Structure 1
Amino acid sequence: MSVELPEIVAAALSRHPCAGVRWVAYSGGLDSSVLLHILARLRLPVRAIHVHHGLSANADAWQEHCVSTAESLGIPIEVRRVAVDSGDGGLEQGARRARYHVFAELLQPGDQLLLAQHGDDQAETFLLRLLRGSGALGLAAMAESRQLECEGGSTATLLRPLLGTGRDQLESYARAEGLSWIEDESNRDLSLERNFLRARVLPPLRERWPVRERVARAASNLREAADLLQDLGDVDLLACDRREERFGESIDLKLLCQLPPRRRKNLLRTWLTRLGGDMPAAVHLEEALDQAMAAAEDSELAVSLVGRVVRRYRNRLYLTPQLPQALATGDWSWRGDRTLLLPQGWELRPGAAWPAGDYRVHFRRGGERAQPLGRAHSQRLKKLLQETGLEPWLRDRVPLVYRADAPESLLAVGDLFRCEEGLPDALEWRYCGLPTAI
């Protein structure tokens, strides 16, 4: 067994070569401890990343264990602390989103992230999605390898080299090699769906059927069907005028309405997948689509869906990241000669021709007026933002640029318009993603 597992991992790495840095997600549990040890044994250059969720009283001790173990194997390790939001999908889903936000920040184009999920995890995922009413794409469960979106729209690769193995094999390897690992006390909490399935449902099934092998075969067959559905979804996304927006993406709602209901759902599933989202339960996906189709054109629709938000504006359907509920306040000094990092994941970039100087920047506070170039009179900023077509959910987040010595003289409203002659149109206001480290 000690020989077999390294060969399995080496074969997976050979099938999926890496052009950049290989990272291994290292929680300190049995699975990731075995994978880390195998990678060290194979003498492959790799770096470890440990995500500190702060959900257990033992989290600091787990971090110390992981750092000590990685260092003893000669593997560099990074630790990132995150804040977990359980508001959309519960604690497990919130922790997963926080981890993947760290991965998206950390990985660079061409990098590879190794996860230690195995065949028993695959069986659990398949059954959980079956019980939640997932379609073919969800029941295809976890792929051995897939693309992972990074910050700035680039992609890395996610690889699960142990997906063809079982927990019993990993435990045999760990005991033979004398490894120590962390036992997360939350794994005993049977109120969590996966733990209940693992402890109460799967054992009697395994007494009668080779569950892991049967699920692997079914998932493989379903993945072929899911790939065909995604091909159709990509065709429909293109036909519905999918386009990148300042914040997320959008499609033409009228064109979407021309599709049969089953293809609308398939389009939304494909869209979520292409943006790196999880598979929603069928009922949640249908509810989001129904609300979007029924909402008034000028409604403030915002339906949360597995870490994304479905919105509607001016006959377009948007799929955006989540926005923090509380709007950041403040007043920021800016020299105008480098990028200004704004709260909640936004930034303001000057072009090469933007003049350096002393500026003050803040978000809307209410009651502002502006006089864009070419206008004879000033108007309420609220009305001007409506004219520009800026989406309603972004209007309180657009940066207003003033001269520091003239705090009432508005120079520019993000990159939407300027209010003073002689200023080059060379600002860029963009979303770069929320930081997860705390």
Structure 2
Amino acid sequence: MSDIASNLTEVLQTALRRYPATGALWLGYSGGLDSSVLLHLLATAKIPFTALHIHHGLSAQADAWLVHCETEAARLGVPFVAMKVEVDGKRGGVEQGARDARYAAFIHKMGARDQVLLAQHGDDQSETFLLRLLRGAGVLGLGGMVQQRGIGASGEGKSLLRPLLGVSRAELEQYAAVNELRWVEDDSNADVAYDRNYLRSQVAPALKARWPLNARVAQACENLREAAGLLEELAGEDLSRCGVREESFGGSIGLTVFRDLSVPRQKNLLRGWLASLGAQMPEAAHLGQALSQLEARDDAVIEVPLGERVLRRYRDRLYLTPQLPRLELVAGEGEWSWDGVVSLALPGGWTLSPSRDWPAGEYSVRFRSHGERARPRERHHSQTLKKLLQEYGLPPWLRDQVPLVSREGTLLAVGDLFVTEEGPPKPPIWTFLD
């Protein structure tokens, strides 16, 4: 075994020992130099895995690349799977759309506790660092790619591992030459209209001629990740101080304590809160806009998108919620039958489930249509539903989506807020499936 083969094999096996997978191993195999080297390393080391090729359909050569990958995997005796995906470039451009589609395909194909290996290397890390620096990223973004992290839904144990992150592209080229590997070249890699390609061909070579770029970037990323960890701890402490709590739709914190924090700590709290929900980080401008709107008069409607979430204000609390689904009911619809036993899926992602002691029966469920009146069991007089929803503290953005449960025309329950005199002891369970 050559020195380069021995070195890279040790790097691979060290990473696998450090981050062992209890499920199956997959390789994200594009057919390019990097993944071709990792394919050969895994096969030569007789490590069981499956090569997974994602067909994006963005290049005229995509079909030929698929055939190449299948042929090379067969030559090495490696199980091979290909998946075709559709790329949506509307948010973040084609590169980001392709990445999102690729990761979604990995997650879909992987089983619980499986691990997918990607062949990103030290040069990729340097390019990512420079790219994020020039886009004005914060501490977390400048921390670069981590070697291992979880992907997919929490609790499934799926993970991603980059075993070659400390290896240079030159070392991969040397390994490929020694082992006479064959790989495909993506013609788009030469297009300097893409920022990453411009950095790779025009900027990185000049920096490497003067400094050990990969080593300096790796050290900077390690320092920045340490700083990001401290900021994460601070965000957790501030969230706790602000009384973070889970709501039926998103979560909330106390606004009074939040306002006592400095602006940098407010921004850090919001970033930490979003990260704890697995949401994407918003741009700095959006965070600034959110904080400025919180100073509006108390009766103003605050609704600021922060990536996939929305920041809202109601009374003395600040809410971070999913995007509120729009209810688009077809004419003639808007009322559903419920047996009181099986959970009822409602439009917009809502679910109505029986609470303890809720009896089986024939119920009808509909959303509020305005003008209704109701009398909670503990009240002596009926009131407008609008006033009752305010008294029970239901945030304004949910008031048109609260389900009304009736039987034979008699109102029994309003969401999970209250029951009427004719209703069961407790209201049903009303939840949103985020």
Cα distance in 2, alignment partners of residues 160 and 97 from structure 1: 17
The alpha carbon displacement at 1:401 in A equals: 4.0
Per the alignment, residue 198 of structure 1 pairs with: 200
Amino acid at match of 1:339: S
Per the alignment, residue 436 of structure 1 pairs with: none
The alpha carbon displacement at 1:136 in A equals: 2.5
Judging changes above 3 Å, is the alpha-carbon distance between structure 1 residues 423 and 271 closer, same or farther for their aligned structure 2 residues? same
TM-score of the aligned structures, taking structure 1 as reference length: 0.77
Cα distance in 2, alignment partners of residues 239 and 397 from structure 1: 31
**Relative contact order, CA 8 A, sep 6+: which one is greater?**
1
Larger Rg: 2
Per the alignment, residue 391 of structure 2 pairs with: 387
Judging changes above 3 Å, is the alpha-carbon distance between structure 1 residues 300 and 42 closer, same or farther for their aligned structure 2 residues? farther
Cα distance in 2, alignment partners of residues 415 and 59 from structure 1: 56
Amino acid at match of 2:211: W
SS in 2 for 1:294: coil
> Does the 8 Å contact 1:20/1:112 carry over to 2?
yes
Cα distance in 2, alignment partners of residues 415 and 106 from structure 1: 38
Select 2:14's aligned residue among 6, 11, 14. Answer: 11
Judging changes above 3 Å, is the alpha-carbon distance between structure 1 residues 65 and 218 closer, same or farther for their aligned structure 2 residues? same
Per the alignment, residue 300 of structure 2 pairs with: 299
Cα distance in 2, alignment partners of residues 246 and 269 from structure 1: 21
The share of aligned pairs that are identical, in percent, is: 51
* Equivalent residue runs for 1:285-296 within 5 Å: 285-291=287-293, 293-296=294-297
Cα distance in 2, alignment partners of residues 314 and 92 from structure 1: 42
TM-score of the aligned structures, taking structure 2 as reference length: 0.77
> Does the 8 Å contact 1:50/1:63 carry over to 2?
no
Cα distance in 2, alignment partners of residues 19 and 304 from structure 1: 38
The alpha carbon displacement at 1:61 in A equals: 4.3
Cα distance in 1, alignment partners of residues 68 and 384 from structure 2: 56
For structure 1, the 5+ residue unaligned runs are 434-438
Matched, 1:347 2:348: no
The alpha carbon displacement at 1:341 in A equals: 3.7
* Equivalent residue runs for 1:152-231 within 5 Å: 156-170=158-172, 173=175, 176=179, 178-181=181-184, 183=186, 185=188, 187=189, 190-231=192-233
The alpha carbon displacement at 1:91 in A equals: 5.2
Judging changes above 3 Å, is the alpha-carbon distance between structure 1 residues 299 and 254 closer, same or farther for their aligned structure 2 residues? same
SS in 1 for 2:90: coil
Cα distance in 2, alignment partners of residues 238 and 64 from structure 1: 50
* Equivalent residue runs for 1:363-402 within 5 Å: 363-364=367-368, 369-376=373-380, 379-402=383-406
Cα distance in 2, alignment partners of residues 411 and 67 from structure 1: 62
Judging changes above 3 Å, is the alpha-carbon distance between structure 1 residues 159 and 305 closer, same or farther for their aligned structure 2 residues? farther
1:254-306 Cα offsets, whole Å, 9 max, x none, are 11111222222222232233222344444443333233x32333433232334
The alpha carbon displacement at 1:15 in A equals: 0.8
Per the alignment, residue 342 of structure 2 pairs with: 338
Q: For this pair of structures, how many residues does the alignment match?
A: 424
* Equivalent residue runs for 1:38-437 within 5 Å: 38-39=41-42, 41-44=44-47, 56=58, 61=63, 68=70, 72=74, 75=79, 77=81, 79=83, 84=88, 86-87=90-91, 89-90=92-93, 92-93=95-96, 112-148=115-151, 150=153, 156-170=158-172, 173=175, 176=179, 178-181=181-184, 183=186, 185=188, 187=189, 190-291=192-293, 293-324=294-325, 326-329=326-329, 331=334, 332-351=336-355, 353-364=357-368, 369-376=373-380, 379-402=383-406, 406=408, 409-419=410-420, 421-423=422-424, 425=426, 427-433=428-434
Cα distance in 2, alignment partners of residues 395 and 197 from structure 1: 51
> Does the 8 Å contact 2:49/2:78 carry over to 1?
no
> Does the 8 Å contact 1:70/1:76 carry over to 2?
no
> Does the 8 Å contact 1:341/1:348 carry over to 2?
yes
> Does the 8 Å contact 1:67/1:77 carry over to 2?
no
Instruction: Name the stretch that deviates more: 74-83 or 241-250.
Output: 74-83
1:371-419 Cα offsets, whole Å, 9 max, x none, are 444445555444433333233333344444455xx4x554444333334
1:139-162 Cα offsets, whole Å, 9 max, x none, are 2222223455625x7765443222
Cα distance in 1, alignment partners of residues 50 and 384 from structure 2: 53
Cα distance in 2, alignment partners of residues 150 and 127 from structure 1: 30
Amino acid at match of 1:394: L
The alpha carbon displacement at 1:197 in A equals: 2.8
The alpha carbon displacement at 1:219 in A equals: 0.9
> Does the 8 Å contact 2:53/2:81 carry over to 1?
yes
Amino acid at match of 1:222: L
Instruction: Name the stretch that deviates more: 153-162 or 96-105.
Output: 96-105
Amino acid at match of 1:390: L
Cα distance in 1, alignment partners of residues 355 and 340 from structure 2: 9
Cα distance in 2, alignment partners of residues 66 and 423 from structure 1: 65
Cα distance in 2, alignment partners of residues 50 and 344 from structure 1: 35
> Does the 8 Å contact 1:371/1:377 carry over to 2?
yes
Judging changes above 3 Å, is the alpha-carbon distance between structure 1 residues 311 and 67 closer, same or farther for their aligned structure 2 residues? farther
Cα distance in 1, alignment partners of residues 193 and 371 from structure 2: 50
Judging changes above 3 Å, is the alpha-carbon distance between structure 1 residues 229 and 413 closer, same or farther for their aligned structure 2 residues? same
The alpha carbon displacement at 1:8 in A equals: 1.9
Judging changes above 3 Å, is the alpha-carbon distance between structure 1 residues 8 and 429 closer, same or farther for their aligned structure 2 residues? farther
The alpha carbon displacement at 1:237 in A equals: 1.7
The alpha carbon displacement at 1:216 in A equals: 0.6
Cα distance in 2, alignment partners of residues 313 and 123 from structure 1: 44
